[in-house]
Amino acid sequence: MAPRTPPPQEVTAWRPTVPGVTEVFHAHFTEYAYPMHVHEAWTLLIVDDGAVRYDLDRHEHGTPDDTVSLLPPHVPHNGSPATPGGFRKRVLYLDGTHLGDELIGPAVDGPDLRDPVLRLRVGQLHTALTRPGEEFEAESRLTLIGDRLRTLLRPRSYGEPARRDPALARRLRELLDERVVEGLSLEAAAATVQAHPAHLVRAFSSAYGIAPHQYLTSRRVDRARRLLLAGSGPAEVAALTGFHDQAHLTRHFKRLVGVTPGRYRVSARRSTEGARPVIVGD
């Protein structure tokens, strides 16, 4: 009888250029079980398929449904599949930028957080981290995740309602308007306006109904439209408007305008020649 071939394991890992994130780790394990070990960083874990069973501080825990698990640094834990098909997980390893040592105790006591808002935000952050050019969005989402985690772990300390600050929001909008093409990091913006990054994102979103990274992307798309109408090609426009590359421009342009930059440019040229407009889906 031939030996059974072990099932394939899928792993992708990288270190993004986003302050606070030391590693991103995506994996699909069917049978592999982690032995007891520790990490220097915080471990923020979501499971997209299946479930994980693990021991932390000699207590058993699990990751059912929409749980977000936060494992503190230097605390031993293991991990193994809790479902027949194994599990598919996405993990962020975070330094102490957003989570201080005072949260280690609460995280040990309650590492599995059933919070739909947090689960949504962590998923959105993973999506941003897989896309070149979305570092500003990733920073903003990570800041709000840290803020949410502190609220959940220390509700009496962090549970106060968000404070409106229209003057601060206006200062950030002016800063973004000045740097539409060059862009800037959330860390640099917070230092410039002398505000905590989480408060800065919340103040802007509250004042304008849109996140700072969405505002900056909208401004860039507006510039791209003008350049495309003037006859510039998509690759050149991407470079002139602050996008990482043409694919980055195309993704956001189609989402906000409804067509690709190339179709938009062709439709403008046809319109000036008196031809019929290009219909989406043609």
Q: Which tens digits make up the pLDDT trace of 241-280?
A: 999 999 999 999 999 999 999 999 988 665 555 444 444 4
Q: CB-based contacts of 104: which residues, under 8 Å, 6+ apart? A: 72, 73, 74, 75
Distance of CA 151 to the CA centre of its chain: 19
Low-confidence ranges of the chain (pLDDT < 50): 1-2, 157-160, 274-282
Distance between CA atoms of 267 and 277, rounded to whole angstroms?
6
Whole-number pLDDT of residue 8: 57
Q: Which pLDDT value is given to residue 277?
A: 46
In contact, 71 and 30? CB cutoff 8 Å? no
Query: How many other C-beta atoms lie within 10 A of the C-beta of residue 240?
Result: 15
* First-last CA distance in the chain: 57
Q: What is the pLDDT of residue 162?
A: 54
Give the CA count within 13 Å in the CB-facing half-sphere of 66.
Answer: 10
At 269 the pLDDT is: 63
Helix (H) or strand (E) holding 118: helix 116-129
pLDDT for residue 80: 85
Q: What are phi and psi of 49, to 5 degrees?
A: -150, 135
Degrees, nearest 5: CA angle 154-150-209 = 125
Beta carbons within 8 Å of 32's beta carbon, 6+ residues apart: 9, 80, 81, 86
Q: Which amino acid is at 120?
A: L
E strand or H helix that includes residue 88: strand 87-94
pLDDT at 1: 47
